[in-house]
Structure 1
Amino acid sequence: MNEELILTELDYKAVRSSGPGGQHANKTATKVELSFDVSNSEALSDQQKERIHKKLSGRINKEGILKMSSEDSRSQHTNKDIVTGNFLFEIKEALKKPKPRKKTKPTKASKIRRLKAKKKKSEIKANRKDPLK
């Protein structure tokens, strides 16, 4: 993954934030929306694109564009930095290969504990029965 090339492929759009804010919020566009065309990216290999589509399928639309936004701050520049950082974090997490699971066997002590618990439970249930029958 070429991080510099990916950053050049990002598209930013500034829009008005939602919620209360008074005069300043009604006339300034501080919310930043980021869009990244995963399908047509030159910075990613085909395997990486496939992995990103699989992991981030909820954020990618039908055209293959990943959309993210930030309206945490009252500053457009800060929101741009936040959304870029979040984007890079999400991409890196999606590209991480999962560790293969190592098969383990139960220990001897855990087997004994399990069998003792089963025996105790069966005795409790046996004691519930009517002794005359």
Structure 2
Amino acid sequence: MADPIAITRSVSIDPSEIEETFVRGAGPGGQNVNKVASAVQLRFDLENSPNIPEPMKRRVAVLAGSRLTKDGVIVIQSNSHRDQPLNRAEALARLVALLREGAFVPKPRIATRPTLASKKRRLDAKTNRSGIKQGRGKPTFED
């Protein structure tokens, strides 16, 4: 049995949850690219994964965007290398990076009010910028 793939200290996924299919790639390879299936299409069923907590699933689903199917499966394609093992490793690394990013819980933003000094700086900058723009106009001839 293969070792579990560690995402965080407490979350890991079983390699049997990942399905790989090999297709002909459009990446580098010259004439060889038309004969050899070196590109990899990695599929991970996020929706039905028992190892990932529900809040993390929601965050990963948002981060995955168009890589997530309607059935809740993440599809990652890799064809940037000429050989299959490198494409497999890259696709797996991209999946792990996506899951690690989803494991991070964003800190809630606390609304604060601007200080009096920052308001003054902002207004001074606006006045200065206004003067610069006024100087770009046509000159007036006042005698």
TM-score of Structure 1 vs Structure 2, range by shorter chain = 0.7 to 0.9
- Structure 1 match to 2:112: 104
Paired with 1:69 and 1:119, the residues of 2 have a C-alpha distance of 52
Q: Are 2:87 and 1:79 aligned?
A: yes
Taking a change above 3 Å as real, the CA distance of residues 72 and 53 of structure 1, as seen in their structure-2 partners, is same
- Supply the distance in 1 between the matched residues of 2:125 and 2:46 (Cα, whole angstroms): 53
Question: Displacement, 1:42?
Answer: 1.4
- Give unpaired runs (5+ residues) of structure 2: 1-9, 135-143
Partner of 1:65: 73
- Report whether the alignment pairs 1:2 with 2:11: yes
CA distance in 2, matches of 1:29, 1:118: 60
Aligned position for 2:140: none
TM-score (norm 1): 0.76
C-alpha spacing 1:69/1:113, structure 2 compared with 1 (3 Å) = same
CA shift for structure 1 position 41: 0.8
Identity, % of aligned positions? 34
**Alpha-carbon distance between aligned partners in 2 of 1:71 and 1:113, rounded to the nearest angstrom:** 51
Kept in 1, the 8 Å contact 2:43–2:76? The answer is: yes
Normalized per residue, the structure richer in helix is 1
1:12–1:34 CA contact under 8 A, matched in 2? yes
Scaled by the length of structure 2, the TM-score of the pair is: 0.71
* Mapped contact 2:27–2:81 kept (Cα < 8 A): no
Alignment of 1:1-133 (within 5 A): 2-5=11-14, 7-18=15-26, 21-116=29-124, 121=130
Q: 1:115 to 1:47 in 2, by over 3 A?
A: closer
> What is the root-mean-square deviation of aligned Cα atoms in Å?
2.5
1:9–1:36 Cα contact (<8 Å) kept? yes
Mean CA deviation greater in 77-86 or 49-58: 49-58
Q: Equivalents in 1 of 2:44, 2:53: separation in Å?
A: 15
Give 1:73 deviation, angstroms. 0.7
Q: How many residues are aligned here?
A: 122
Q: Taking structure 1 as reference, are residues 31 and 45 closer, same or farther at Cα in structure 2, changes over 3 Å only?
A: same
